[in-house]
Amino acid sequence: MTSRRTTSVLAAASALAVFALGACSSTSSSTGSGAGGGTGDQVKVVASTDVWGSVVSAIGGDKVQVTSIIHDPSADPHSYESTADDALAAKKAQLTLGNGGGYDQFFTKLSGEAASAKKLVAYDIAKPGEENEHVWYDLPGVEKVADQVAAALGEIQPASKKTFDDNAKTFKSQVDGLIKKAAALGTAHPGTKVVVTEPVAHYLLKTANIADATPKAFSDAIENETDVPAAAVSDFTKLIKEKQVKALVNNVQTVTPLTKQAVADAKASGVAVVDVSETLPANVTGYIDWMTKDVDSLSGALNS
């Protein structure tokens, strides 16, 4: 979610009206539960987004009560300001899980309210070796997070340690399947290139060995929240219109004149559009279902 970048991209769109791209978003705080409610026996967990909340739920099952602060695609974790309800949930938390990497800075302060809670940061656990903060698409990294979540929950509730470990093992086996499926795409389609409206799914493309041909000046401007140079927008659009790329990977939580134009150009040119997001889509049951749909969508685009 990078609606923080909208201004920069709109400026680029104004400078070159025939083209158009740029930001992420997400709103308000909300509570979700891995068990549909809470009992005194459940471990109270607060996650910065429903993505990480769903990972905790997969590991903890009915033994955790998960509150996901960001769960709405219209809220932007980069600029989100926590509420009194968020602070109250954090104070009761026994475990907190944030994304980190500069993505959800509000959560660093919020997790400080959980004085006695165990605190996990996905980016620090995944250690992707890159500055890209969208580590929920780093499948091997998510496996590392699952292990740490299971370990933390086991320390908090020792009687359920085996359950947490077994759930983590099952979860990781499912992620392993996704890694193999994604990697097979690159093997089946060597040399394939795509462009992206924003590098949200960077790690997934890396796992699939699919090249991101987005002009560097374009990507840098988006990431640095500066005006996208007109030449970079032109180069980006040319790649699509001349079908030099197989797909446009579009962050659906980025809606600007530039992203709309990019999607329109792709559809008009017969270039597949692969939608990705930063919070759980409404039509998924959890993290594995979501990633499965995204990998399948990428596969469909490459096979089209």
In whole angstroms, give the CA distance from residue 186 to residue 189: 5
Looking at residue 227, the DSSP 8-state letter turns out to be P
In whole angstroms, give the CA distance from residue 113 to residue 111: 5
In whole angstroms, give the CA distance from residue 169 to residue 84: 36
Please tell me the predicted confidence (pLDDT) of residue 40. 63
pTM of the model as a whole: 0.87
Q: State the angle between helix axes of 287-302 and 161-188 in degrees (0 to 180), rounded to the nearest 10.
A: 10
* Closest CA relative to residue 49, chosen from 62, 24, 67: 67
DSSP 3-state percent helix, strand, coil across the chain (nearest 5):
50, 15, 35
Has domain 3-22+181-302 been given CATH number 3.10.180.10?
Answer: no
Burial of 292: CB neighbours in 10 Å, binned 0-12, 13-18, 19+: middle
In whole angstroms, give the CA distance from residue 206 to residue 152: 29
- pLDDT tens over the chain, length 304 residues: 444 444 333 333 333 333 333 333 333 333 334 333 345 699 999 999 999 999 999 999 999 999 999 988 777 787 889 999 999 999 999 999 999 999 999 999 999 999 899 999 999 999 999 999 999 999 999 999 999 999 999 999 999 999 999 999 999 999 999 999 999 999 999 999 999 999 999 999 999 999 999 999 999 888 777 888 999 999 999 999 999 999 999 999 878 888 899 999 999 999 999 999 999 998 899 999 999 999 999 999 999 8
Please tell me the predicted confidence (pLDDT) of residue 73. 75
For CATH 3.40.50.1980, the residue range(s) in the chain are 3-22+181-302, 43-175
Has domain 43-175 been given CATH number 3.40.50.1980?
Answer: yes
Please tell me the predicted confidence (pLDDT) of residue 77. 82
